[in-house]
Amino acid sequence: MFKQAIKWVKANQDLLIDISDQIWGFAELGLKEFKSSKLLANTLDEAGFAVKMGVADMPTAFFADYGEGKPVIGILGEYDALPGLSQKAQSSREALIEGAPGHGCGHNLLGVGSLGAVLAVKEAIDLGSVKGTIRYYGCPAEETFNAKGYMIREGLFDDVDISMTWHPGFLNMLTLMSALSMNSVVFKFHGRTAHAAGDPQNGRSALDAVELMNIGANFMREHMISDARLHYIITNGGEAPNVVPAEAEVHYFVRAPKRHQVEALYKRLIKIAEGATMMTETSMEIDFLSGTYNTWYNQVVDEVISKSMKTVGTPRFNKDDKAFANELKKSLPENSMEGYYRLIPPDMLEIAKAILSQPLNKSIIPPIGKGKVMPGSTDVADVSWKVPLGEFTTACEIMGSPGHSWQIVATSGMSIGHKGMLTAAKILALSSLEFMGNPELVKKAREEHENSHKDDPYKTPFPEGLKPPFRRLNN
């Protein structure tokens, strides 16, 4: 059955590449991925999957089932792009459409690699090789909002036994590093307008409140754990210097390695904001946009994925891919791999540098960074707290590509990205089939998950009644 799955992906690679390239061209922002989600959902519908669109109050969120009964294997797909990263599939910087979005995280590849996997598993179910249910999750807005958290809250993961995902990267590697837990929140201050020169005594500046809050937050940095992070931007600072701003707002990210650490810092940040209102005689409201957990990978699922990676092997790049990579590498900073070198044990450093100095990764890298936290956040983490989950990366980019960069957009729209995507589809398909053919493995993964979270179960990070933040999309 494993050979059948690999054979299916090979036979249908042109279809998968075409869908990926279409989504690369759509390059739609989070919660606006109408064309991308429709293309994926229609492909699954035509293949005989039972598709449900518009779930969890999000028009571009969906899931699609094939088969019946247990186990239920959930494969995560994403398809949102990033603002301002439009780029042609070439080795020099040139926007496809000036100022438009681009797939600077390779989610066109991610969504379609996962699509290829579930379609290959569907073939195995039809042939009678395995029994169970394969499910594709169409997950919007990973870059900006915790769409998966809303789907979890709606109960859409309640019956899932095993979940898996992947991400385009520049390494072929099992993912072991956790992600930072996060809150994304806008603090909106309300004051009283007045002429800034002629009538200042009657004004109460909302911008003053924003600035005082930021000062307080910056002083708080000295008294946070070293791995925590605060980032903010002023999203509204008023209209004109001679008018006391009656409205102002600031958008904060609060990050830390653990969910409870974020919640503690967030409470302190709210107190700082309340202090700013007292000092300026203004009022405040909080617009909570998103919250995520830290990632928790399941060892049993990891072992299955690792086995599949060894069976499938790595993307096979040709001389044209290598020439493209060598040319594109000239645009990267010289220290682009420095952060990765810090994660490698000293006794492996020289060998690692030899491998990582190549423009394209051609081998499976032993997992690095176990017990460490990568400096980013993802809503995949919430799924990992709800069900047993494993994740990996395949080489879809050139070595050292900066995250969310035009270089990633370029390789996501050509053969380097395509080959990494097809490799990922095979790995996910084989891993899914392994679980569907081995109930004891499923049981073992579930037991590990339940033991890990029995004293600290998943609770939604969202305030009660929170809806997906469409209100912010045009801001």
pLDDT tens for residues 34-43? 999 999 999 9
Tell me the residue type at 197. Answer: A
pLDDT tens, the chain, 475 aa long: 678 899 999 999 999 999 999 999 999 999 999 999 999 999 999 999 999 999 999 999 999 999 999 999 999 999 999 999 999 999 999 999 999 999 999 999 999 999 999 999 999 999 999 999 999 999 999 998 899 999 999 999 999 999 999 999 999 999 999 999 999 999 999 999 999 999 999 999 999 999 999 999 999 999 999 999 999 999 999 999 999 999 999 999 999 999 999 999 999 999 999 999 999 999 999 999 999 999 999 999 999 999 999 999 999 999 999 999 999 999 998 877 777 777 777 777 777 777 778 899 999 998 877 888 888 899 999 999 999 999 999 999 999 999 999 999 999 999 999 999 999 999 999 999 999 999 999 999 999 999 999 999 999 999 999 999 898 775 4
The label of the residue with tokens 């994403």 reads 78
The label of the residue with tokens 């989504």 reads 23
Task: Tell me the pairing of strands 178-179 and 229-236.
Answer: unpaired
- Predicted pLDDT at 2: 73
- Predicted pLDDT at 146: 93
The label of the residue with tokens 């300026």 reads 280
pLDDT tens for residues 307-356? 999 999 999 999 999 999 999 999 998 877 777 777 777 777 777 777 77
Identify the H or E element spanning 247. Answer: strand 247-256
Structure tokens at 172: 């072929």
- Predicted pLDDT at 333: 84
CA-to-CA separations, 185 to 91, 303, 374, 462, in angstroms, rounded: 37, 37, 21, 11
- Predicted pLDDT at 474: 58
Q: Are 128 and 119 in contact (CB under 8 A)?
A: no
pLDDT tens for residues 216-265? 999 999 999 999 999 999 999 999 999 999 999 999 999 999 999 999 99
DSSP string of 307-328?
A: HHHHHH------HHHHHHHHHH
Percent of the chain at pLDDT > 70 equals 99
∠ CA 46-50-53, nearest 5°, is 95
Tell me the residue type at 89. Answer: A
Nearest to 114 by CA among 63, 68, 186: 63
CA-to-CA separations, 144 to 6, 140, 148, 387, in angstroms, rounded: 34, 9, 11, 22
Structure tokens at 414: 């050509």
What is the distance between the alpha carbons of residues 466 and 150, in angstroms, rounded to a whole number?
9
- Predicted pLDDT at 475: 45
Task: Please state the φ and ψ torsions of residue 33, each to the nearest 5 degrees.
Answer: -85, 55
DSSP string of 61-123?
A: -EEEEEEESSPEEEEEEE---BTT----SSSS---SSTT--B-TT-HHHHHHHHHHHHHHHHH
CA-to-CA separations, 215 to 186, 204, 225, in angstroms, rounded: 16, 18, 18
The label of the residue with tokens 């409205």 reads 247
Q: Mind listing the domains of the chain with CATH numbers?
A: 2-178+294-453 (3.40.630.10), 181-292 (3.30.70.360)
